Amino acid sequence: MEQKIKAKELKEKLFLKRKNTYAEMTDEEIQKADEFCEGYKAFLDAGKTEREACTEAVRIAESNGFKPFVSGTRYNAGDRVYLNNRGKSVILAVIGSQPIENGVNIVAAHIDSPRIDLKQNPLYESEELAYFKTHYYGGIKKYQWPALPLALHGVIYKADGEAVTVKIGEDDNDPVFVVTDLLPHLADEQYKRPAGKLIKGEELNILIGSRPFKDDESSENVKLNILCILNEKYGITEEDFISAELECVPAFKAKDIGFDRSMIGAYGQDDRVCAYPALMAAVDTVGVPEKTSVTILTDKEEIGSEGNTGLRSAYLKYFIYDLAEAWGVHGHTVLSNSKCLSADVNAGFDPTFPEPFEKMNAAFLNKGVVATKYTGSRGKSGTSDASAEYVSEIRNLFNENGVIWQTGELGKVDFGGGGTVAMYIANLDIDTIDIGVPVLSMHAPYEITAKNDVYMAYKAFSVFIK
Strand partners, 257: 263
- The H-assigned helical ranges of 284-356 are 315-325, 331-336
> CA 354, CA 374: separation in Å to the nearest integer?
21
Closer to Mn ion by Cβ: residue 230 or 316: 316
300 closest CA partner among 286, 311, 289: 311
Closer to Mn ion by Cβ: residue 204 or 347: 347
> CA 243, CA 307: separation in Å to the nearest integer?
17
315 SS3 class? helix
100 closest CA partner among 259, 265, 303, 319: 319
Per rule CB under 5 A, is residue 50 in the interface with Mn ion?
Answer: no
Region from 204-212, 270-278, 331-339, 397-405 binding Mn ion, contact rule CB under 5 A: 270-278
Cβ 345 to Mn ion shortest distance, Å: 5
145 closest CA partner among 452, 443, 460: 443
> CA 307, CA 301: separation in Å to the nearest integer?
10
Residues in the chain: 466
Region from 62-70, 247-255, 268-276, 279-287 binding Mn ion, contact rule CB under 5 A: 268-276
Cβ 110 to Mn ion shortest distance, Å: 6
Question: Which residue of 344, 350, 434, 453 would you call a contact of Mn ion, by CB under 5 A?
Answer: 344
Eight-state DSSP code of residue 401: T
Return all residues near 407 (Cβ < 8 A) that are at least 6 apart: 361, 363, 370, 371, 372, 373
Per rule CB under 5 A, is residue 270 in the interface with Mn ion?
Answer: yes
Region from 164-172, 307-315, 340-348, 457-465 binding Mn ion, contact rule CB under 5 A: 340-348
Count of chain residues binding Mn ion (CB under 5 A) = 3
Closer to Mn ion by Cβ: residue 334 or 371: 371
Per rule CB under 5 A, is residue 117 in the interface with Mn ion?
Answer: no
Closest residue (Cβ) to Mn ion? 271
Cβ 465 to Mn ion shortest distance, Å: 20
265 SS3 class? strand
Element of type H or E holding 2? helix 2-14
Cβ 463 to Mn ion shortest distance, Å: 22
Closer to Mn ion by Cβ: residue 240 or 301: 301
Cβ 356 to Mn ion shortest distance, Å: 16
Cβ 71 to Mn ion shortest distance, Å: 30
Region from 50-58, 262-270, 308-316, 423-431 binding Mn ion, contact rule CB under 5 A: 262-270
> CA 64, CA 155: separation in Å to the nearest integer?
27
Closer to Mn ion by Cβ: residue 203 or 271: 271
Per rule CB under 5 A, is residue 271 in the interface with Mn ion?
Answer: yes
Site for Mn ion in 138-167 (CB under 5 A): none
Contact positions toward Mn ion, by CB under 5 A?
270-271, 344
